[in-house]
Structure 1
């Protein structure tokens, strides 16, 4: 380790911290949805707000959090590793200036062109005398959120690069808190009340950005924006961003295609996929993204320091961690798909048929959960080496494979079993394995990743045997307990919650004890690279 540089925080501790903060954000997000449903329901104003809020959120995922972070963090980490603090500040000043000017221009364009954006994203509103003008008005209020949250993303990327993971991970919580407060406290003072939410989004953008600035100042990295499009670091980031933006677009096209196909299937198919997808994304969002967030700056520094052994060891650790979480999560979702869906959603207008159909697609999504999570930790192996083109090529192959698999899987399940939506979920899962497999093969064949390179945690053969033993015991307990407790349909909400907590708690306990009996120790997971 170069002199004067602080030791890196433990990967396990950092991942757990980010995961806990993400879980808090997800829980508050669910509470936010409940509050919004209570206060604005599904009326015209709600439709207008969700469209207006969706536009800057969509662009944020497309340009800021995804493509920008993948391009910016490796370059910043290289400057930090091989350059001086002055060089890091020089880069930050110019990236902040160029990004800020671009966002101001885009925001002004969107505010002026709000009628066009409303027509583009919600063409069905064009002839609605209430929803269309309200959507236009709220776009003008909410769109500056893109500028604020993108600058927040820049600040968060810097903090992550310096192993200050807690602050960026906690920041999304503030959006949910502000929107809940806007709905419950401010809405009565607006006409229509839904406008309070639009202003809440804008206020949340300011609060999230201001929340992170003091922490940048403590690092001595509070940027003084300067516009210099010819700066070498800015040029490199732009070059890396171009394929990354295309890669993010590919995934969005894939999701759009699935939605289009689902719209041709029996009524309810889109909703069944939505419910099951929301559940399958929980372990993905909390754990896989937490691991990916932590390892990207670490891998970037190891690449800049020309340390391939540590680079490979970090990838090896992250893959093992994903398997420790993904395999039991996937198996538990498969076994408990119907009880979980019954507990969460089978109330009011949601029928038993809806739950059963959703459980089938949840089981299909669960097949690919391990692959979805592996993609999140394998892709940083490319981004950290400033290779954004290879993941895009692989993503295109996966997208085309998904299209072919849709035809193969949907048709027979639809015509013979009326389960076309399950075919869509299964095709998505199989395509994820193709994506993850190609990412792994590229790293392995390129000599970037060597399995078992970290002798301290044991061989992969032993690890897989330990995983097999622990997961088989867990599945047996889950299966027996869920059958022993009998039918969940006749139970009320509270007994269902208690039963589900009992089953999940027992399954987790058995899994952890089985891992310990098989020889897995906490010290194996505390590797520091």
Structure 2
């Protein structure tokens, strides 16, 4: 099968698996909301999970995979699988030792970490102690996720996308099972134990899938291998640049802790919805294109790299801009139907909806950033996203402080959206220094057309919802409004002959072999 057609099929497979994962994730969040609402315990869990999640991103799965894939893919391209598996084995050994040491140190000094990350919690001893305990349970996940990062990178390099995409589905299912079985006995601790157990299961599934397929892994540690040296040089800027995203979340958590655990938990609940289009579409496109980016760069084929990147971004905009518009006009209704049950009341819905509105403005740019960053990683220019992210980290802190006063926790979310837009503009400008001039006018025109169509769609959906709500109730009215909005959007895209619509159609119908590689930018 043609390589580009394989990529199109891989995109569909990953998207389908990711949708399943997000649905399972939503089921998990619904159960969490039903059991705990936006209670202080939920606020403690939110902080407890974000702390190891920061270290996970800095050093574990995503960062390791991002630094590992270009080097591993280069070796495979040169048909040197024996050396490829050797460096993979060494990387697993180094990852295990480093993350184990960091985990032990973090667990010992956890009270001090909580003082820094959630200073607003220090006035409530019970809340503070609960946060420390939950963090210590969750923290060992970074070890298993670090190993998973290497295994996932290997599978992606060999074009095995299905199992890595399905593993998070199982991860969510395991957490749900632990919650349902042990919530009454363990309370919020059931969520923490569920995450730890699920992470181990996720690693086991991918390891078993890789085992014996392409080569053999063995336990090894060495810092002298030239490929390991190259990866370690890459992983520092990759880790820090990816970590900047979570550093921003970390800064947001610090400011939000002063607004109370309920508003902090509201931001987290809104972030779960905000992250849905990123998780399904942006990360899907990025996951499929990253190995292709690495291959094109290895061949110094900038002529195809540039249009592939631009087409990927335009597809992300085509999907995420209308989603953002719907989230803005129907935020309260969406939050209510997802979360409002059990301990999660109408006041909680209002808090989460307020956060979601402001998060929604940044969805297209945050999604596009995931792809542009991968472009830099393929070029092995990993410090550039780090520099940009560092500047935006400072901007985010300043904007948090300025915007939380007039907009409460919504201001913190709006700060995230503004920083995402600044980050995207800067990265697009800077990547042209590495690959040459890119004609961005078609991308800008597409973005404006998509935004115009999305505004019409959102307005029609909002009017239709208000008309139907009194007749049919929330569920039917929202479902029909979203469905009608989707039909309107697709119809207008077809009438205006949007290139993004044609590409999306070709991907799902497997009609076109060069789906995303077209020299139109």
Write the deviation string for residues 102-128 of structure 1: whole angstroms up to 9, x where unpaired: 345445x35xx7453356447979997
Question: Is contact 1:51–1:135 with CA below 8 Å preserved after alignment?
Answer: no
Answering whether residue 253 of structure 2 is matched by residue 252 of structure 1, we say no
Structure 2 residue aligned with 1:117: 110
Question: Is contact 2:33–2:342 with CA below 8 Å preserved after alignment?
Answer: no
Q: 1:210 to 1:462 in 2, by over 3 A?
A: same
3-state DSSP class of the match of 1:306?
Answer: coil
Write the deviation string for residues 197-231 of structure 1: whole angstroms up to 9, x where unpaired: 66655543443222122432353134123211111
Q: 1:437 to 1:143 in 2, by over 3 A?
A: closer
3-state DSSP class of the match of 1:379?
Answer: helix
Instruction: Give distance in 2, aligned partners of 1:232 and 1:65.
Output: 22
Structure 2 residue aligned with 1:301: 295
Q: How does 1:4-403 map to 2 (within 5 A)?
A: 7-35=3-31, 56-106=52-102, 109=104, 114-117=107-110, 120-121=113-114, 143-185=139-181, 201-264=195-258, 269-347=263-341, 355-356=349-350, 358-403=352-397
Instruction: Give distance in 2, aligned partners of 1:94 and 1:420.
Output: 48
Instruction: Give distance in 2, aligned partners of 1:301 and 1:167.
Output: 22
Structure 1 residue aligned with 2:420: 432
Instruction: Give distance in 1, aligned partners of 2:209 and 2:260.
Output: 52
3-state DSSP class of the match of 2:483?
Answer: helix
TM-score relative to the length of structure 1: 0.81
Instruction: Give distance in 2, aligned partners of 1:427 and 1:41.
Output: 25
Write the deviation string for residues 282-309 of structure 1: whole angstroms up to 9, x where unpaired: 2122211222222111101111122111
Q: 1:204 to 1:229 in 2, by over 3 A?
A: same
Answering whether residue 462 of structure 2 is matched by residue 505 of structure 1, we say no
Instruction: Give distance in 2, aligned partners of 1:182 and 1:422.
Output: 32
Question: Is contact 1:77–1:304 with CA below 8 Å preserved after alignment?
Answer: no
Instruction: Give distance in 2, aligned partners of 1:367 and 1:46.
Output: 26
Q: CA deviation at 1:267?
A: 9.0
Q: CA deviation at 1:23?
A: 2.4
Question: Is contact 2:36–2:344 with CA below 8 Å preserved after alignment?
Answer: no
Q: What stretches of structure 2 of length at least 5 have no aligned partner?
A: none
Instruction: Give distance in 2, aligned partners of 1:179 and 1:383.
Output: 32
Instruction: Give distance in 2, aligned partners of 1:20 and 1:466.
Output: 27
Question: Is contact 2:234–2:382 with CA below 8 Å preserved after alignment?
Answer: yes
How many residues are aligned here? 503
Write the deviation string for residues 250-296 of structure 1: whole angstroms up to 9, x where unpaired: 33332233333334458964355344333222212221122222211
Q: 1:132 to 1:476 in 2, by over 3 A?
A: closer
Instruction: Give distance in 1, aligned partners of 2:188 and 2:261.
Output: 30
Q: How does 1:454-465 map to 2 (within 5 A)?
A: 460=443, 463=446
Determine which of 464, 467, 479 is the counterpart of 1:481.
464
User: Which one scores higher on RCO, CA 8 angstroms, separation ≥ 6?
Assistant: 2
Q: 1:225 to 1:360 in 2, by over 3 A?
A: same
Q: 1:410 to 1:201 in 2, by over 3 A?
A: closer
Question: Is contact 1:470–1:512 with CA below 8 Å preserved after alignment?
Answer: no
Question: Is contact 1:96–1:223 with CA below 8 Å preserved after alignment?
Answer: no
Question: Is contact 1:174–1:204 with CA below 8 Å preserved after alignment?
Answer: yes
Mean Cα deviation higher: 380-389 or 256-265: 256-265
Instruction: Give distance in 1, aligned partners of 2:278 and 2:451.
Output: 21
3-state DSSP class of the match of 2:379?
Answer: coil
Question: Is contact 1:24–1:173 with CA below 8 Å preserved after alignment?
Answer: yes
Q: What stretches of structure 1 of length at least 5 have no aligned partner?
A: 454-458
Mean Cα deviation higher: 222-231 or 141-150: 141-150
Q: CA deviation at 1:375?
A: 0.9
Q: 1:343 to 1:75 in 2, by over 3 A?
A: same
Instruction: Give distance in 2, aligned partners of 1:511 and 1:209.
Output: 40
Give the structure with higher Rg (CA).
1
Mean Cα deviation higher: 259-268 or 88-97: 259-268
Q: CA deviation at 1:161?
A: 1.6
Q: 1:258 to 1:144 in 2, by over 3 A?
A: closer
Mean Cα deviation higher: 353-362 or 276-285: 353-362
Q: CA deviation at 1:155?
A: 0.7
3-state DSSP class of the match of 1:219?
Answer: coil
TM-score relative to the length of structure 2: 0.82
Q: CA deviation at 1:13?
A: 3.1
Question: Is contact 2:13–2:162 with CA below 8 Å preserved after alignment?
Answer: yes
Structure 2 residue aligned with 1:456: none
Mean Cα deviation higher: 257-266 or 317-326: 257-266
Mean Cα deviation higher: 259-268 or 385-394: 259-268
Question: Is contact 1:47–1:131 with CA below 8 Å preserved after alignment?
Answer: no
